[in-house]
Amino acid sequence: MPVHRLNHAVLYVRDVERSVAFYTDALGFRPVPLADGLRGAAFLQAPASSNDHDLGLFEVGQQAGASTAGRSTVGLYHLAWEVETLNDLEEIAGRLAELGALGGASDHGTTKALYAPDPDGNEFEVCWLVPADLITPEALEARARIDHLDIASEKARYGADTPGGIGISRLASV
């Protein structure tokens, strides 16, 4: 029974209300109703998702220390969410910039990605995947390096409203 996809992620946060506001403002997530009596938690659903929830948040309090994952401990590096079009990616880049949270924008050849930390420093990625039929040999070569993402140039190349694809994984099965 092969795994099909990631259904949801769960994060520990210092202040659940602050985190809900951030993910709502930054990515358009919406809260889903909780069971009665469940306090200090929130479940959020991405705008185009059919999952019950895509992100669970559990409050541990302001005294919680920062994660040292990747610096001195093992742990999660980041979560990655896909968007449908480069226009969507550009819109989210603007929202993240307004919130002072846009940490980087990278061109990985077959993936165009934004990186940002949430209020507790949990990093996430928002990406658009180049459709398999548009992947060029140059894009495949670019996977070996990380270039700065110029969304305007990518929109001119691929189209602002071109739906993202299943990307490089599709090439392996064709």
- Measure the N-to-C terminal CA separation of the chain; round to a whole number of Å: 21
pTM as predicted = 0.89
Closest CA to 158 of 88, 105, 94: 88
Boundaries of CATH 3.10.180.10 in the chain? 9-59
CB-facing half-sphere around the CA of 30: CA atoms within 13 A: 8
pLDDT in tens, 10-53: 999 999 999 999 999 999 999 998 877 678 999 999 999 999 99
Share of the chain above pLDDT 70, in %: 94
Q: What is the dihedral of CA 136, 140, 141, 146, to 10 degrees?
A: 120
Is the domain defined by 9-59 classed in CATH 3.10.180.10? yes
Task: Give me the phi and psi of 18, to 5 degrees please.
Answer: -60, -40
Classify burial at 32, counting beta carbons within 10 Å of its beta carbon; exposed 0-12, middle 13-18, buried 19 or more: middle
**Class assignment of domain 78-168?**
alpha beta
